[in-house]
A and B are shown apart, each in its own frame.
Chain A
Amino acid sequence: MNRIKFSLNNRLSLINQRSFAENIPKSTLLFIVVCIISITYFGILYSLFHTLWYHKLFCVISTLIFAYSLQDLYFEQLEKRVKQALPKTTKKLSHYYTHYKGNVIPTLMDTEEKCPEEARLYLVKIRKALISGNPGNEINALKSAFPFIWFRMLASIIFMSKEKGIGVKSDANQTNMIGRNLMKMTNILNFINVQQGYNDAELKYIQIFLYFAPFLFIFASDWINSKILIEMNLQEVYQGIKAQNIKTFIFLSANLSALFIHWMRKQQR
């Protein structure tokens, strides 16, 4: 249990860049929520099929897949928010960089105030690294701690700008290299976000549909067929072992299919 909580906290810390201790309440809450939803899911599955040993086994496997996907979908959502915050941040950064004529620290301070909250801590960390005693090493450490490549690149650009003194020359905007590069980065990030969003959207909805489709099939069939069978004075057959077997395989195949689509989505990012 503690190991799972620890890994959840680690991943959370990696995405939101807060400390391990700061993330403990959030990760505990996440752990509790995932547990409650998974137990409820298990309960529903168990009520639908539980007679034979393999019904119980597949109940557990389906629940584990569901719980894994649930927490992963949550982290994905967090990552998506950070990715969407990134172009807005680089845009602001470019604006303030030009405004402060290449003075990096005030640029970062103003951007921190105006940028989306998801990206704020990244900028704060970059600024603190720049004003530290050994900025080179600090920035390198940050690069390995940042989970997104574009934040790593941003750290590199800002560090280079500070170290090499690349400012904005007053005579011509043509020499505002950093500002232009940041704008270029903004455009490309917007393009990537839009395209990857398109690539992901359909598959993501299919994945979510697959988690709920079995409930739809089973409850609708039970309701419609039970009505027909009772009208015809026939026994209701959906509690039998054969029906439970089909239910088991519906849930197992739905969860495995959803996991497969989840894996596919992960590969393309």
Chain B
Amino acid sequence: MNILLIAQIAATLLLVIVLCLYIAVAVRNIRLNRLFSKEYIKAIHTKSARKLYPFVPKPNSSKYISTKRFLNSVDWKISVEGIYLCKWCMFAAALFILVTIQTTNRSIELKEIIQDVNYKHKIIETLRADTPTNIALEKQLYDLVDVSITKSNDIFSKKNRQMYIEYIENLILQQGVEIGGDLGSTAQRLYDKVLQIRTIRSNIAPYIYIILISILVYHLPDILGQLKKKLIEDKKNWEILNCMIVFSIFGRMPPFSVLAILENMVIATEVYKPLLEALVEGLKKGGRQEAAFDAALEAVDREELYELIETMKIARRTGLINSIDDVDDTITNTVKWIEIENISRRRTKMLYAMTAMAVVVGLGCLYFAYGLTVISNPANMLIK
């Protein structure tokens, strides 16, 4: 069995397994949807899904917790099991598509070599016509030679070349096939074909690249997540500025309360919305409101927002009016700081964009150069 077939079967099998798992989970969900409440399904789904996919980390394991934390930090509304299934689906699909492309390309390449009646011909030789009879004869001769020549690696040795060519000549003579041309050049052509086809068939390098690309595709959500984390830093800057402006505007307006300011801050944010919503909920609950502020301060990842929330915490005792002027000054500084930081961030983003563009430009250059490759062996491409 050759590598081509093994790779194709393996890729197809993996895709089928992953798709079956996906369908099994989907069918199970549909069935559960009819029977139980949404909350119960949510709880049971994670467990059932985990049973079905052996590759999902165990709950409460460090990998599971870190994945969950990562998904929360990039604001992706998907479960840990879901992201693993998604990653495996992507891996299997990429592997299947790439292996099938490779199978198609190799089959075409092998067919072209087998059917080429002028394979590696010399410029002084007369070209043979691509008639169906010639092609059929070429295939018949190739099959005959391929079966007869040993599968050992001796064929690849340059020392044995002449020996094999003579062997092929004898083989053709023994079989009594009418080749309609020079026996020596035909034997040489057939030897070159067998050599080339066996080299192609034993070449596993493309499959190694395919596996590497598929692994990259598997990790694509992680890479995009890390990138998103960096990119939303910009959004966070704007949201912090929005929060400061909300404080400055609504702090001067009735009912002059921290809660009213926070409620408007929730409107003005997306990334920090869950944090501010939790704070609002904590304040509305009553009881010890300091605890809600402390919890929010612990969760904040930016110094500027930390100071703003702390200001609100203190303002509940000292009064809002005293704090607003300070916030106004901070806004002026933040605006300048954002302006400067934007310049450096723009450069980083341009670097990402340029990397993507370089790939396209590189392929464009490859395409241009491809037209010139025929000049390296014009004998193959002379207009007949």
Residues of B with C-beta under 8 A to A220: 368
CA distance A234 to B361 in the complex (A): 26
Against B, the Cβ 8 Å flags (1 = close, 0 = not) of A228-269 are 110011110110011101110110011001001101100111
What is the minimal beta-carbon distance from A155 to any residue of chain B, in angstroms? Answer: 9
A225 and B371 in contact, given A181-B253, A203-B353 (Cβ under 8 angstroms): yes
CB of A218 within 8 A of CB of B367, answer yes
- Taken residue by residue from 48 to 85, chain A's Cβ proximity to chain B (1 for < 8 Å, 0 otherwise) reads as 00001110010000000000000000000000000000
B205, CB-defined interface residue at 8 Å = no
- Whether A28 is near chain B, meaning CB under 8 Å from some CB there, is no
Which of A57, A202, A245 interacts with B350 by CB under 8 Å?
A202
B357 engages A206 (CB within 8 Å):
yes
Q: Does A23 have its Cβ within 8 Å of any Cβ on chain B?
A: no
Q: Which residues of B contact A235 (CB under 8 A)?
A: 374, 381-383
Q: Mark A189-205, 1 if CB is under 8 A from B, else 0.
A: 00110011011001100
Q: Which of A92-100, A114-122, A126-134, A209-217 contacts B (4 or more CB under 8 A)?
A: A209-217
Restricting to A132-153, which residues have a CB under 8 Å from any CB of B?
143, 149, 152-153
Interface size class of B (residues with CB under 8 A): 35 or more
User: Given A243-B367, A250-B367, is A181 in contact with B357 using a C-beta cutoff of 8 Å?
Assistant: no
Assess the B360–A143 pair: CB atoms within 8 A. Answer: no
- Which residues of A have CB within 8 Å of B238? 192, 196
Residue total for A at the interface (Cβ-Cβ under 8 A): 68
B352, closest chain A residue (CB): A264
Contact B357 A153 (CB under 8 A): no
Taking a contact as CB atoms under 8 Å apart, the answer to whether A238 and B363 are in contact is no
CB distance from A148 to the nearest CB of B (A): 10
**Contact at B346–A199, with CB atoms within 8 Å?**
yes
**Contact A260:B374 (CB < 8 A) given known A202-B350, A249-B363:** no
Comparing A12-20, A31-39, A156-164, the segment that makes contact with chain B is A156-164
Q: Is the CB of B363 within 8 A of A164?
A: no
A250 adjacent to B357 (CB under 8 Å): no
Secondary structure dominating the interface of A: helix
Whether A156 lies near B264 (C-beta < 8 A) is yes
Interface-side segment among B17-25, B100-108, B171-179: B100-108
- The answer to whether B235 and A267 have CB atoms under 8 Å apart is yes
Q: Does A123 contact B (CB under 8 A)?
A: no
In the complex, what distance in Å separates the CA atom of A264 from the CA atom of B248?
A: 31
Which residue from B338, B361, B381 sits with its C-beta under 8 Å from A213?
Answer: B361
User: Which residue of A161, A253, A268 is within 8 Å of B359 (Cβ)?
Assistant: A253
Q: What is the 8 Å Cβ interface bit string for chain B, positions 71-112, against chain A (1 contact, 0 not)?
A: 000000000000000000000000001001100110010000
Q: Is B242 an interface residue, CB under 8 A from the partner?
A: yes
What are the interface flags for B243-287 relative to A under an 8 Å C-beta threshold, 1 for contact and 0 otherwise?
001101110111100000000100111000000000000000000
Check A221 against B359 for contact (C-beta < 8 Å).
no
Which residues of B sit under 8 angstroms from A224, Cβ to Cβ?
368, 371
CA distance in complex: A147, B82 (Å)? 29
For the complex, is B163 an interface residue (Cβ under 8 Å from A)?
Answer: no
Chain A residues, CB < 8 A from B101? 54
Count of A-B residue pairs with CB < 8 Å: 176
Q: Are B252 and A214 in contact (CB under 8 A)?
A: no
Q: How far is the CB of B169 from chain A (nearest CB, A)?
A: 32
- By beta carbon, the residue of chain B nearest A259 is B356
> Which B residues from 337 to 362 make CB contacts under 8 A with A?
338-339, 342, 345-346, 349-350, 352-354, 356-357, 359-361
Indicate if the CB atoms of B231 and A268 lie closer than 8 Å.
yes
Q: Are A234 and B268 in contact (CB under 8 A)?
A: no
Contact of A246 with B245 in the complex, beta carbons under 8 Å: no
Check: B147 CB closer than 8 A to any chain A CB: no
A241 closest partner in B (C-beta): B108
A234 touches B241 (CB 8 A): no
Interface residue B204 (Cβ < 8 Å from any Cβ of A): no
Contact of B234 (CB < 8 Å), options: A184, A221, A233, A268: A268
Q: Give the residue of B104, B249, B359 whose beta carbon is less than 8 angstroms from that of A157.
A: B249
Do A268 and B253 have beta carbons less than 8 Å apart?
A: no
Q: How far apart are the CA atoms of A10 and B363 in the complex, in Å?
A: 39
Q: Which residues of A contact B372 (CB under 8 A)?
A: 225, 228
The residues of B that contact A260 with a CB separation of less than 8 Å are 352, 356
**B342 near A53 (CB under 8 angstroms)?**
no
The answer, among B253, B267, B373, for a CB contact under 8 Å with A166, is B253
Q: Does B245 lie within 8 Å of A217, measured CB to CB?
A: no
Contact of B339 with A237 in the complex, beta carbons under 8 Å: no
**B268 is contacted by which of A149, A232, A233, A254 (Cβ under 8 Å)?**
A149
Q: Which residues in A have their C-beta under 8 angstroms from that of B338?
A: 195
Closest to B372 in A: A225
Contact call A185/B371, Cβ cutoff below 8 A: no
Task: Determine whether A109 belongs to the interface, using a CB cutoff of 8 Å to chain B.
Answer: no
Neighbour of B368 across the interface among A166, A221, A234, A261, CB < 8 A: A221
Residues of B within 8 Å of A153, CB to CB, are 246, 249, 264, 267-268
Q: Would A214 and B364 be within 8 Å (CB), given that A181-B249, A257-B356, A268-B349 are in contact?
A: yes
Complex CA gap A232/B253 in Å reads 82
Across the A-B interface, the 5 shortest Cβ-Cβ residue pairs:
A225-B371, A217-B364, A257-B356, A267-B231, A221-B368
By a beta-carbon cutoff of 8 Å, the part of chain A in contact with chain B is 52-54, 57, 143, 149, 152-153, 156-157, 160-161, 164, 166, 177-178, 181, 184-185, 188, 191-192, 195-196, 198-199, 202-203, 206, 209-210, 213-214, 216-218, 220-222, 224-226, 228-229, 232-235, 237-238, 241-243, 245-247, 249-250, 253-254, 257, 260-261, 263-264, 267-269
| A–B Cβ pairs within 8 angstroms, 30 of them | A54-B100, A156-B250, A160-B250, A160-B254, A164-B253, A164-B254, A166-B253, A177-B252, A181-B252, A199-B349, A209-B357, A210-B360, A216-B364, A218-B364, A221-B371, A222-B371, A225-B371, A232-B375, A234-B374, A234-B375, A235-B381, A237-B370, A237-B374, A250-B360, A250-B364, A253-B359, A253-B363, A261-B353, A268-B232, A269-B235
Extra 4 A-B pairs, beta carbons < 8 Å, given A149-B268, A153-B268, A250-B363:
A160-B253, A178-B253, A203-B350, A213-B357
